[in-house]
Structure 1
Amino acid sequence: MKTAAYAGLSRQEKAEKIKKIRTVPAWLKGFVVPVIILALWQYAGSAGFISPTVLPTPLAILLTFYELTISGELAANMQISIARAVGGFLLGGGLGLLFGILVGFSKKTESYLDPSLQMLRTVPHLAVTPLFILWFGFDELSKVLLIAMGAFFPIYINTFLGIRSVDAKLFDVARVLEFNWHRQITRLILPAALPNILLGVRLSLGIAWLGLVVAELMGSSAGVGYMIMDARQFSQTEKVFVGIIIFAVVGKLTDSFVRLLEQKLLKWRSSFKGTH
């Protein structure tokens, strides 16, 4: 069978084919370190080296995840958290894109708006959370606005930088073609600034999840963050780990989605992919 498969191939082609067979897929390499950590973790917990209250074993966490899934508690809390994160991201990200275009396109607008926005950008989430609670209470509005505040700045800054990085010669071409303001944005600025904008979207999604955690931990009656706080009060460490893992997995999935979007929208771009 092997002889037939390699028949008619040169020595170099055979070597390349064998190398491809022996090469570990890139997606599989990412599981090597987590699997080793989980195996050591399970062994340490099963041998009694670590207290279950401090650090439960992966199998105990998996069992708790199964129980929460069967009871429907996890799905209900995830639905609420995702709705908050999406609402805050769309609000903050949409405004960030709009303000980034306005400030990036006009120096006059930049001189009026950018200094104030840069000052607000340095204010931490934890510093404004009590103020948001005083203004808007513990309702959904305060949580969505807190998430939106964090999601606003990455897209705003990257959109602004992306527009200012557009080659000035393209604007000369736009003047020759007599593009109006709308066509300059849709046909020239946004396509050229798209790599920076998508980077801003990735960063914004990550900060939106951080804002969600802060909002739900500070005061909430539902959501994954509330589930974590409720479990902490009753020393249900397995449940706390389930919530943390949920945040990590959903955050990774959203980041992977944007990276896939980058690959499809930025096929034209040629850049360094890293060494082997």
Structure 2
Amino acid sequence: MTATDTLAPSPAPARTALRVPAAALGLALPVVMALAWEGAVRMGIAEGRLMPPPSRIGAMLLDLARSGDLVLHGGATLGRVAAGFALGAVAGIGFGALSGASPPARRLLDPTLQALRAIPSIAWVPLFILWLGIFEASKVALIAVGVFFPVYLGVVGAILGVDRKLVEVGRVFRLNRSQLARRILLPAVLPDTVTALRSGLGLGFMFVVAAEFMGASEGLGYLLVDGQQMGKPDQILAAIIAFALLGKAADTLLVAATAPLLRWQDTARERL
């Protein structure tokens, strides 16, 4: 045995910690809560009339799926959110880029947009009905308003938050304006822009509820109103769960679609 062998560090012990799949861990809390409530109702601890147990909610979801109503109403809601998200995101990115990149444009636009952002969503409903009628255009417009403001704020904040040293490095390498924007500014603002898009999508699902209260005959919001009028709490909770599942699925698709744009990132989260 040589001195080198003696001084060589011993290999680190292999990590034997059990890794729980992320999906299973994420389902743990709602499953435990559902089982606890189901048990409380079955044992007579809780009544379960106004807050039905998961078994009744599941039966209602199954009935809606078998009759085709779940697909019909879920598809209508998803179509409205997709249209409103597309309009609001494009407008938010456009105005956000303009306000972030141009101080005169920011001084002109930002005060008005910040004042409009403070208006409650429900206050737009009568105005949009008056302008656009009670059909799809007014609903899509309301969702677009909900999406626009978080996207606008996220893009403006991302542009204003670019490290000045990165821009100076680009100038040292004599990059022109288009190269500076493509190789330095765009990668710097993409992470915050994706976060803003996810926030806008979440608000789009919140605003679609208010939109579908505007005389809709299809959509998960219609199921909520119908359940309230008919005294069906299981239908109301089934619609809420459908909202949650659709929103989570849409957010997952957005993250997957934007992941290639952020592949260059080397963050601590990727190593944990």
> TM-score under structure 2 normalisation?
0.87
Unaligned runs of 5+ in 2: 1-9
Q: Does the 8 A contact of 2:99 with 2:110 survive in 1?
A: yes
Corresponding position of 1:7: none
Matched, 1:26 2:22: yes
Shift of 1:217: 2.5
Q: Does the 8 A contact of 2:134 with 2:214 survive in 1?
A: no
Calculate percent identity across the aligned residue pairs.
36
Residue from 211, 219, 243 that aligns with 1:223: 219
1:221, 1:57 → 2: CA distance? 28
Matched, 1:126 2:113: no
Q: Which moved more, 1:72-81 or 1:42-51?
A: 42-51
Supply the RMSD in Å over aligned alpha carbons: 2.4
Q: Which moved more, 1:169-178 or 1:60-69?
A: 169-178
Corresponding position of 2:63: 67
Q: How does 1:67-106 map to 2 (within 5 A)?
A: 67-106=63-102
Q: Which moved more, 1:142-151 or 1:51-60?
A: 51-60
- How has the CA–CA distance of structure 1 residues 51 and 136 changed in structure 2, closer, same or farther, with 3 Å as cutoff? farther
2:271, 2:119 → 1: CA distance? 39
Q: Does the 8 A contact of 1:45 with 1:55 survive in 2?
A: no
Shift of 1:164: 1.4
1:124, 1:220 → 2: CA distance? 20
Q: Does the 8 A contact of 1:88 with 1:144 survive in 2?
A: yes
Matched, 1:138 2:134: yes
2:268, 2:167 → 1: CA distance? 27
Shift of 1:48: 3.3
Corresponding position of 2:7: none
Matched, 1:178 2:180: no
Shift of 1:184: 4.6
Shift of 1:150: 0.7
Cα distance per residue 1:35-89 (max 9 Å; x no partner): 2111111112223333343011111111111111111111011111111000000
Amino acid across the alignment from 2:177: F
- How has the CA–CA distance of structure 1 residues 170 and 273 changed in structure 2, closer, same or farther, with 3 Å as cutoff? closer
Residue from 146, 150, 173 that aligns with 2:146: 150
Q: Does the 8 A contact of 1:56 with 1:237 survive in 2?
A: yes
Matched, 1:233 2:223: no
Shift of 1:192: 1.5
Residue from 162, 166, 170 that aligns with 1:166: 162
> TM-score under structure 1 normalisation?
0.86
Paired residues, what number? 261
Amino acid across the alignment from 1:126: I
1:128, 1:259 → 2: CA distance? 30
Q: Does the 8 A contact of 1:53 with 1:236 survive in 2?
A: no
Matched position secondary structure for 2:51: coil
Matched, 1:266 2:262: yes
Q: Which moved more, 1:137-146 or 1:183-192?
A: 183-192
Q: Which moved more, 1:132-141 or 1:42-51?
A: 42-51
Amino acid across the alignment from 1:94: V
Amino acid across the alignment from 1:72: G
Shift of 1:232: 1.4
Residue from 205, 208, 224 that aligns with 2:204: 208
Q: Does the 8 A contact of 2:96 with 2:155 survive in 1?
A: yes
